[in-house]
Chain A
Amino acid sequence: MRLLSKKDSKLIMDPLADNNPITIQVLGICSALAITAQLKPSIVMAVSVIFVMAVGNVVISLMRNIIPSKIRIIVQLVVVATLVIIVDQVLKAYAYSLSKELSVFIGLIITNCIIMGRFEAFALANGPWRSFLDGVGNALGYGVILIIVGFFRELLGSGTLFGFKVLGDPVERTGLYALGYENNGFMVLPPMALIVVGIIIWVQRSRNKELIED
């Protein structure tokens, strides 16, 4: 007994590693650079994208036979926009400070190329269950990278994880700071996110040589 058939589980597992939207397809980089200075916004962003993509894929998949192909982009935009506004309003209502921190980037999920890409490439041609799995898989693949980047940037840049002081107190100089350790201010700046993503790409491709493009 398997929960998912082999073909279905491939939909989830592939984007997590060998077909990752960020490190392999190099999509959705902008938000990966902008909001990963800390772990918490990274996770919230990941969850938001999982919601938008899973529900969006299902909705598009259900409507796939009645959308006129000439205006399908507009229809897709309306669906994403609706879902993004729902996420945005929920965050504003229940996690106001986080929503301020994420600022425009929740709204900009609309422009996240991964989402429109999956609508076009998958949901328009497949049934709702498979589209759901594909949406969850791709959003998870995106989220995993976000969380890895956020983990290193927050740990090395601020010495904290989820705001909890892991490496000691930089002001009181306890823990590692007593030994003369300093936070790496470069980690908090967006260029470093690009470099961290680059390092992930490097590590991934040297582990699996098949991924190297010419």
Chain B
Amino acid sequence: MGLKQNLHNLREKYKGTKMAPAFNALHTFLYTPNYTAQGGTHIKVADDLKRTMNTVIMALIPCLIFGMFNAGYQHYLAVGEIQAVSNGFFSSEFWNLQNFILGFWKILPLVIISYGVGLGIEFLFAVLKGHEVEEGYLVTGMLVPLIVPIDIPWWMLIVAVAFGVVIGKEVFGGTGMNILNPALTIRAFLFFAYPTWMSGDKVWVEGAVERAKEIASGSNADAISGETILGSLAQSHPIDYSVMDMFFGFIPGSVGETSTLLILLGGLFLIFTKIGSWRIMLSATLGALVMGYIFNFVVDAGWVTESSKFYGLMSTEFWHHLIIGGMAFGIVYMATDPVTGSQTNKGKWIYGFLIGFISIMIRVFNPAYPEGVMLAILLMNVFAPTIDHYVVQGNVKKRLKRGKLKTA
């Protein structure tokens, strides 16, 4: 009883003052308040915003844990202390405490920064503008550490989170009013502002940047190479990861997006709990496969030869696109954002399909932007209201026509 009663007392104490929203938020975040709304008719539903957000976070936890193991695994593999995984998903080379501890201490600060800065700004704006703190940042705060490289300097993350929350969300009026997905806004800001920390072959493995500096100064001769698969393909380099590695996620990449298996499970969980839209996930997958297949077809027809700089990515088997890079993560956790995505069912099909389609197109045609899924989702976020508008208008027209037929 203690903490809840104390929070309740605090809340009563600050009622009506400027700081009220901040205490309200703390109280309702941790507990269900004692009081209910008065007057009028109210339908009580269990899946309020808080539960919706928490469900998504639950779906993200496996990716986070896996990311911690993977961070350590990639590091120790790169410095040559352990062997590559040999027997499937539950290999002991991967799931050991040494890996987890390294990853844990690297990733925990990212999570803390993401939540600390983001929620700090949310609280600040709530107090300044006198509205309640919304739960919208809970998911964003969990997504952000999962989509950045592990070695990202902390101050960059602070700047990016502040930018993403203020410019991507608060200026539009806070949770539910934003046009762009805040987590992707944060990543896009990092990507364009600090490209050397967000792409290339140095940033994906813990310690690789430091190592590169030591090599440059001559104090260490062993380079750590941690090129992502997309990066290798863009330069038509051979890949030394098997398809199962890619599917299980034993590959370098942003913290939490490597394991397609866990993302798939998370996606099924979201579909099962009816939080994420299966229409968007399915249509985005289809879009990516179609575009990938078109590229494969072009290569098979002999229109593009090995001398082309697009050959590496174009000749990648079309379904491989789903398990490399952030494609799966983007489709499951970003594209399905209910605020920035399409709202109508038909609109969701179009919106999702175009996300998949454009992602692969950007990936292949612009090797400088290998993470096409980020740009594709942001682009389609902008067009989602337009798609909805035409879907709704189309429906209106259809029904008007039907009405006319009847009266005639």
Contact = CB atoms under 8 A, between A and B. Distances in A.
B189 A180 contact: no
Chain B at the A interface: mostly helix, strand, loop or mixed?
helix
Contact of A187 (B153, B167, B171, B193): B193
Contact of B197 (A182, A186, A198, A202): A182
Q: How large is the interface on A (under 10, 10 to 19, 20 to 34, 35 or more residues)?
A: 10 to 19
A184 interface: yes
Interface string B193-224: 11111000000000000000000000000000
Contacts, number: 24
Chain A at the B interface: mostly helix, strand, loop or mixed?
helix
Contact of B155 (A180, A195, A202): A180
A187 B167 CA distance: 14
A182 B194 CA distance: 7
B192 interface: yes
Interface in A109-128: none
A129 to B, nearest CB: 42
Interface in A161-214: 180-182, 184-187, 189, 195, 198, 202
Nearest to A202: B171
A182 B196 contact: yes
A180 B196 CA distance: 13
Nearest to B195: A185
B101 interface: no
Given A195-B167, A202-B171, A185 B153 contact: no
Contacts of A187: 193
B368 to A, nearest CB: 13
A186 B196 contact: no
Interface string B134-177: 00000000000000000001011001000000010001000000
B193 A184 contact: yes
B155 A184 contact: no
A186 B193 contact: yes
Contacts of A195: 167
A189 B192 contact: yes
B173 to A, nearest CB: 13
A81 B156 CA distance: 46
B366 to A, nearest CB: 15
A13 B282 CA distance: 58
B167 A185 contact: no
A186 B156 CA distance: 13
Q: Which 4 A-B pairs have the closest CB atoms?
A: A186-B193, A186-B192, A184-B193, A185-B193
Interface of B: 153, 155-156, 159, 167, 171, 189, 192-197
Given A182-B153, A184-B194, A202-B171, 12 more contacts: A180-B155, A181-B155, A182-B156, A182-B194, A182-B197, A184-B159, A184-B193, A185-B194, A185-B195, A186-B189, A186-B192, A198-B171
